[in-house]
Amino acid sequence: MKKILIISGGISKERAISLDTGKQVAKELNKNNYKVKITEPNFKLLDVIKSFKPKIIFNALHGQFGEDGYIQSILETTKIPYTHSGVVPSALAMDKELSKKIFIKNNILTPKYISYSFNKSNLELIKLINKKLKFPVVIKPLNEGSSVNVFICSKSNIIKKLNSLKNYRKVIIEKFIPGREIQAAIIGSKKLGAIELIPKRKFYDYQAKYNSKAKTKHIIPVDLTKTQYKRLMDITFKAHKLIGCAGVTRSDFKFYKNKFYLLEINTQPGMTSLSLVPEIAAYRGIKFIKLLELILKDASKKK
Ligand SMILES: Nc1ncnc2c1ncn2[C@@H]1O[C@H](COP(=O)(O)OP(=O)(O)O)[C@@H](O)[C@H]1O
Ligand SMILES: [Mg+2]
């Protein structure tokens, strides 16, 4: 019986989602005769790994320390295969500015942006935005997920919103791209597929993502022409490979005037019942357990 250690929880703002991901992954693996243990990424982690001796470690963490290379660098020391991306790809993907720079260098379209370290007067900033981006804009931290602290801003509320983000050293201010919200997934070297989200809320924010009462519509298959779909999957695959990702990734796009704008690539996409990757897989006839087994298989290949 294969022993799998699931790491979930942690201290990021996405702790609750990670616990949910961990629970659902554990339930599915248990049902399929794996020997599963769930643990937190705390100071006892290495002891837990030593005594449980897992064959593979399933990283079910999201956000800071779980998705940005920190836990990955600790796991590297154990010599036990762990799921999803390694240290450097995780760090690159988690940093929205670094990954945008890589996308731009490699001709992957991403919304125009400025990075901002709270070092300008309000007037200077507004002038710069008017010149480079135009309002509305989207402000977001460099290294959060789940739409935590992502805000669509106009000239009238941007200063107030930025003030609420001062604790982050730096944020990015992006041109707002209207249009459709489409996300696409890769597993290993396989183009898994895509899904469209139609939020009832102003945008695909935290509530729209996790609260079923917010009633975001999930559309699959996505209504795209064959060539548009191919273009989408090619960009998604290119981004996954460029960053050097492993296992499963999900890339978030805005689709506007026949152009796909890549917002970000997620190296630890959610695996809750409302999560998109399991839904995309299911549409392709890949059951949840099969998806998990593909992820586990890719973990071993990374080593
Ligand atoms: N430049 C943008 N234009 C329009 N909407 C955006 C833009 N950036 C982010 N959003 C909205 O905010 C959501 C979260 O942004 P994203 O960059 O994917 O960060 P997170 O890591 O929090 O998911 C997106 O799914 C989209 O709905
Ligand atoms: Mg996103």
Q: Are residues 205 and 289 in the same domain?
A: yes
| Active site (annotated) includes residue 28 | no
Q: What is the pLDDT of residue 273?
A: 67
CA dihedral 140, 273, 72, 65 (to 10 degrees): 40
Q: Are residues 29 and 169 in the same domain?
A: no
Number of domains in the chain: 3
Q: What is the pLDDT of residue 91?
A: 97
**Residue whose structure tokens are 């791209």:** 177
CA end-to-end distance (rounded Å), the chain: 21
Ligand 2 center from residue 50 Cα (angstroms): 35
Q: Are residues 72 and 118 in the same domain?
A: no
Q: Are residues 218 and 295 in the same domain?
A: yes
* Distant-in-sequence, close-in-space partners of 70: CB < 8 Å, separation ≥ 6: 64
The predicted model gives 231-248 an average pLDDT of 97
Task: Kindly report, residue by residue over 69-80, the tens digit of the pLDDT.
Answer: 999 999 999 999
205 belongs to a structural domain: yes
44 belongs to a structural domain: yes
Q: What is the pLDDT of residue 303?
A: 53
Q: Does the model's pTM come out above 0.75?
A: yes
Which atom of ligand 1 lies nearest, measured to the CA of 174?
Answer: 1
Task: Kindly report, residue by residue over 90-141, the tens digit of the pLDDT.
Answer: 999 999 999 999 999 999 999 999 999 999 999 999 999 999 999 999 999 9
Which residue has its alpha carbon closest to ligand 1 atom 14? 147
Task: Kindly report, residue by residue over 165-183, the tens digit of the pLDDT.
Answer: 999 989 999 999 999 999 9
Question: What CATH number should be reported for the domain holding residue 153?
Answer: 3.30.1490.20
User: Strand 137-141 to strand 35-39: parallel, antiparallel, or no bridges (unpaired)?
Assistant: unpaired
Q: What percentage of the chain carries pLDDT values higher than 70?
A: 99
Q: Are residues 98 and 232 in the same domain?
A: yes
Q: Are residues 30 and 48 in the same domain?
A: yes
Which atom of ligand 1 lies nearest, measured to the CA of 96?
Answer: 17
What angle is formed at CA 95 by the lines to CA 5 and CA 21, rounded to 5 degrees?
A: 30
Pick the catalytic residue: 252, 261, 275, 298?
Answer: 252
Q: Are residues 102 and 241 in the same domain?
A: yes
Q: Which of 175, 199, 227 is the last residue of a domain?
A: 175
| Active site (annotated) includes residue 270 | yes
Question: What CATH number should be reported for the domain holding residue 247?
Answer: 3.30.470.20
212 with 264: CB under 8 angstroms? no
Q: What is the pLDDT of residue 300?
A: 78
| Active site (annotated) includes residue 66 | no
What range does the domain containing 165 cover? Answer: 113-175
88 belongs to a structural domain: no
